[in-house]
A and B are shown apart, each in its own frame.
Chain A
Amino acid sequence: MEFETLLTPGANVLVNVARAVLLMSVGWVVAQLLSRLSRRIKDNVISPHHKILLAKAIFWIVLVLFLVTALHQLGFKLGVLLGTAGVLTVALGFAAQTSASNLISGLFVLSEESFKIGDIISVGPTTGEVLSIDLLSVKLRTYDNIYVRIPNETIIKSEVKTITKFPIRRFDLVVGIAYRTNIEHARQVLLDVARDNPLCLDEPEPLIILQGFNASSIDIMFAIWSTRENFLALRNSMQEEVKTAFDRAGIEIPFPHMTFYTGADCAPLPIKLVGDTEQAQQQDKPVERNAGFSEE
Chain B
Amino acid sequence: MSVVFTKTLPDAEVPLAIGESMRLEFGQLLLDISHNPFEWILRYSYRHKQADEHEAEHGPETVLRYVFDKSEQAVAITAMLADRAVVSRPLSPISLMADASTQVFISTPLYLAVNTGSHRMIELPTARLSDTWFGDKSAGELCYSDTTRARLDPSAVENLYFKAVTPVTIKNQSHRQLLLDRINVPVPMLQLFRMPAADKSFVTTSITVTLSETVEETRIQLGSAQEHRDAELISPARKPQKKQFLYRAIDLFLS
A28 to chain B, nearest CB (A): 43
- Report the Cα distance A166→B133, complex, angstroms: 12
User: Is B60 located at the chain interface by the 8 A CB criterion?
Assistant: no
Asked whether A4 is an interface residue with its Cβ less than 8 Å from the other chain, the reply is no
Q: B132 interface residue, CB < 8 Å from A?
A: yes
Interface string of B119-143 (1 = CB under 8 A from A): 0000000001111111001111010
A198 to B140, CA, bound (A): 19
B49, B133, B138, B139, most chain A CB atoms within 10 A = B133
Contacts of A168 in B (CB 8 A): 133, 137, 140
* Cα-based distance from A167 to B129 in the complex (angstroms): 19
Interface size on B, residues (CB 8 A): 15
The smallest beta-carbon distance between B113 and chain A, in angstroms, is 21
A201 interfacial contact with B, CB 8 Å: yes
Find chain A residues with CB under 8 A from B212 CB: none
With beta carbons under 8 angstroms apart, the residue of A167, A196, A201, A230 that contacts B132 is A201
Residues of A close to B128: CB separation below 8 A: 198
Interface flag for A202 (CB, 8 Å): yes
* B84-139 contacts to A (CB < 8 Å): 87, 128-134, 137-139
Does B145 belong to the interface (CB within 8 Å)?
A: yes
| Distance between B91 CB and nearest chain A CB, rounded to angstroms | 14
Q: How far is the CB of B128 from chain A (nearest CB, A)?
A: 6
Name the A residues within 8 Å of B132 (CB-CB): 201-203
Question: A197-241: contact bitstring with B at CB < 8 Å (1 yes, 0 no)?
Answer: 011111110000000000000000000011100100000000000
B138 nearest CB neighbor, chain A only: A166
Selected from A198, A199, A204, the residue in CB contact (under 8 A) with B133 is A204
Contact A167 B130 (CB under 8 A): no
Complex Cα distance A199/B133, Å?
A: 12
> How many angstroms between the C-alpha atoms of A157 and B132 in the bound complex?
37
Smallest CB–CB gap between A47 and chain B, Å?
Answer: 16
State whether A204 touches B131 (Cβ < 8 A): no
Contact yes or no, A227 B137, CB < 8 A = no
What residue in chain A is nearest B49 (Cβ atoms)? Answer: A196
Cβ distance A195 to chain B, nearest Cβ, rounded Å: 8
On whether A202 and B131 interact (CB within 8 A), knowing A167-B142, A227-B142, the answer reads yes
Complex Cα–Cα for A152 and B146 (A): 47
Which residue of the partner chain, among A166, A198, A204, contacts B130 with CB atoms under 8 Å?
Answer: A198
Q: Which of A160-175 contact B (CB under 8 A)?
A: 165-168
Enumerate chain A residues within 8 angstroms of B130, measured Cβ to Cβ: 195, 198, 200-202
Cα A225 to Cα B138 in complex, Å, equals: 13
Q: Is the CB of B131 within 8 A of A199?
A: yes
Complex Cα gap A196–B48 (Å): 10
A-chain residues with CB within 8 Å of residue B140 when the two chains form the complex: 167-168
> What are 14 A-B pairs with beta-carbon distances under 8 A?
A166-B138, A167-B139, A167-B142, A168-B133, A198-B131, A199-B131, A201-B132, A201-B133, A202-B130, A202-B131, A202-B145, A203-B87, A204-B133, A204-B137
B residues lining the A interface (CB < 8 Å): 49, 87, 128-134, 137-140, 142, 145
Q: A201-B133, A202-B87, A230-B131 are in contact. List 6 more A-B contacts (CB 8 A).
A: A166-B138, A167-B138, A196-B49, A198-B130, A203-B87, A203-B134
